[in-house]
Structures are given as C-alpha cells and as structure tokens.
Copies of this chain bind each other. A is one copy, B any other.
Amino acid sequence: MRSDPFFHPVSGAVLPRFAGVPSFMRLPHLAPDHPRRAEVEVALFGMPWDGGTSNRPGARHGPRALRDASTMVRAEHGVTGFRPFEAMACADLGDVAVNPVDQDETLDAITAFVGDIVRGRARPLGVAGDHLCTLPVLRGLKSAEPPGLVLLDSHTDLYPLYFGGSTLTHGNPFRVAVEERLIDPARSIMIGMRGTRYNDEDRLFARDAGIRVVPMDELEERGIADVAEEARDIAGGGPAYLSFDIDFIDPAFAPGTGTPEVGGPTSAEALRLLRALSGLELVGADLVEVSPPFDNGGITAWLGASVLFELLCLMGDETPR
C-alpha cells in the first residue's frame, strides 16, 4: 500500500455509504490551499458547465450527481481485485469556477485548473459537463508530445463549427484539438459512433487527419476484444488520453444525457471494453455528458460512477503495484 490513509475514502463501516457530505468516491475534498494538495497523484474534479450544448442541456448538474452516486463505490475492483485508493493518492479537488453564461471565461478557467494539476505532477480525472469541456482539459495538458486519444462515444465530435458561427459547441472539441495539436491523430481511435447524421464531414476530417473511427455496427461485428486490441495498438506505446461520453452506452442504460443515440452497447459490454483497454499510459481521462435532469431514477449517474471507477483503475495500471 503506497498511499497514505489520509487519501482513502471514508469507509462504509464508519459511516453508511449514503451518509455524509458527498465528495467523489468519498475522497478527501482538498481546497486549493490545503497543505497536502501537493501529494495528490490523481486529481478528480468537476466541470459543471454545459454552455456548448446544442441540444438538451443539464450536464452542468453532472458533477454533483456523480459525487452523490460515487459514494457507493467501494475499495476494490470486482474483477481485477485492484485497490486504486491504496495504489495512488487520490483526492477531490472540487469544481472549476465556471461561468454558466461565458464560454471563453469558462474554457480558460478549466485550462488553468488542469494546468495547476499538471504542475503539481498529478494526473487529471475530470467529470463534466458537456463534451466541449474536454478541449480545455487537453489544452491544460498540452506538452511537446501530444497524447493519443481513445474516445468512447456515439458521436465523433469532429464537426466544423455550426449554427454558422464562431462559437464552439460540444460537437467540435476533437476537431479543434487536432487543429491545435493537442492530440496525435495517428494515435487516436474513436469507438461506438452511430445514429443518423447530417453528413459525413466528420468522417472525412477523421480520414484526412488519420483518426481511426470504429462505428457501432463494426464493434458489434468484430466484438469487444478485437476492437480493444486495436485500440491498445493505436493508442498504446506512448501517452494517451481517454474520454468517455456516457452516450456511448445505449440510452436504456444511460438515459440521462443530452443527445442519446439508440442501438448502443449494454453497460456490461461497455465495462468489458474498458477493462480490455488496460495497459494504456494515461495522462488523464474524463467522463462527460451525464445530464441529471434527463436521468431516470438516477441510473445514469450510478452507471457513470461505475465508469469513473473503471477510469480510475485504468489510470492506476501504469502505477507499479
């Protein structure tokens, strides 16, 4: 056990899991000036902002719902037996001070927040908000060697700016990330795309940039193990970033999201795929687009909390055990 007990979640044996002030996974909530903040290795934080949403809003309420649901997470992974809180010093750093009506100010605040994390030698595990929030996270991570990307999503989010304007939306982050050289397209893969689309501008952009896109029907046909192996081949062997849009999973399992697309994987399939991604060298990860106002009885938040735990365990994979 490497991590100090200070960084362990409050145990369910001390206080029932439904009780207490809810931080992510019941981890210590550290204010910016907390004396032990420098020891944090994995920084969970919220980006409660949905100002890039072109369709149904509400993802601004995602981080709070995930804090609530994630207090149900226990100490040990059910399949691998990995105990992430003992392997890494994890903490909840709170939410970025977003401005609900100002996109520029918010994106800058996120970039700065992640920059602080990185400077503290911690790795970010972010909870948004809409998918546009991933862009400033990548900006905050910017380095000489851009990471590869593994995107689990039902959309590529590679669209040109739309509504004829100059303002970004949650359909644009990865196009801009490629343009700003925040990710390495040649080491990037997007899995799960489906549903109707306006046109194929995103696919053409992916093709030209060299991003591999595995649509849902291909995933069904080839199976999870095969696609996961391809993802590890593409994004492995160097730094990688994993972004998980909850709408990757079928809306029966994850109704609480802004732009659901039916015909997606079950939760069992999604978790199996995540486990199969083990071994990536993750510089950061995020979970986005959980929109509590459209959730049914909290099942999306609960599923999101399980996904978040899988992401955390994947981040622990490269930590010597």
- A67 interfacial contact with B, CB 8 Å: yes
**Residues of chain B contacted by A266 (CB below 8 angstroms):** 250, 252, 266
Interface of chain A, main secondary structure:
loop
Q: Mark A65-83, 1 if CB is under 8 A from B, else 0.
A: 0011000111111110100
**Residues of chain B contacted by A215 (CB below 8 angstroms):** 78-79
Whether the Cβ atoms of B76 and A197 lie closer than 8 Å is yes
- Whole-angstrom CA separation of A56 from B53 in the bound complex: 14
Chain B nearest CB: distance from A315 CB in Å?
16
Whether the Cβ atoms of A55 and B101 lie closer than 8 Å is no
Whether the Cβ atoms of B263 and A271 lie closer than 8 Å is yes
Whether the Cβ atoms of A50 and B54 lie closer than 8 Å is no
- A20 interfacial contact with B, CB 8 Å: yes
Within 8 A of B (CB), among A79-108: 79, 81, 92, 94-95, 97-103, 105
Whether the Cβ atoms of A75 and B198 lie closer than 8 Å is yes
**Residues of chain B contacted by A58 (CB below 8 angstroms):** 56-58, 293
Tell which of A117-125, A158-166, A179-187 binds the partner. Answer: A158-166
- A230 interfacial contact with B, CB 8 Å: no
Tell which of A34-42, A135-143, A297-305 binds the partner. Answer: A297-305
Whether the Cβ atoms of B262 and A100 lie closer than 8 Å is no
- A29 interfacial contact with B, CB 8 Å: yes
- Whole-angstrom CA separation of A13 from B165 in the bound complex: 10
**Residues of chain B contacted by A259 (CB below 8 angstroms):** 72
**Residues of chain B contacted by A79 (CB below 8 angstroms):** 194, 215, 217
- Whole-angstrom CA separation of A98 from B17 in the bound complex: 11
The contact of A19 among B22, B64, B216, B267, by CB within 8 Å, is B64
The contact of A48 among B13, B19, B94, by CB within 8 Å, is B19
The contact of A299 among B102, B255, B263, B272, by CB within 8 Å, is B255
- Whole-angstrom CA separation of A280 from B214 in the bound complex: 29
Whether the Cβ atoms of B196 and A309 lie closer than 8 Å is yes
- A212 interfacial contact with B, CB 8 Å: no
Q: Which 10 A-B pairs have the closest CB atoms?
A: A293-B293, A74-B196, A57-B57, A252-B253, A19-B48, A263-B268, A19-B95, A262-B267, A263-B271, A99-B163
The contact of A22 among B22, B97, B197, by CB within 8 Å, is B22
Contact A299 B302, CB 8 Å, known A252-B253, A266-B250, A309-B196: no
- A251 interfacial contact with B, CB 8 Å: yes
Within 8 A of B (CB), among A263-297: 263-268, 271-272, 293-297
Whether the Cβ atoms of B255 and A263 lie closer than 8 Å is no
- A14 interfacial contact with B, CB 8 Å: yes
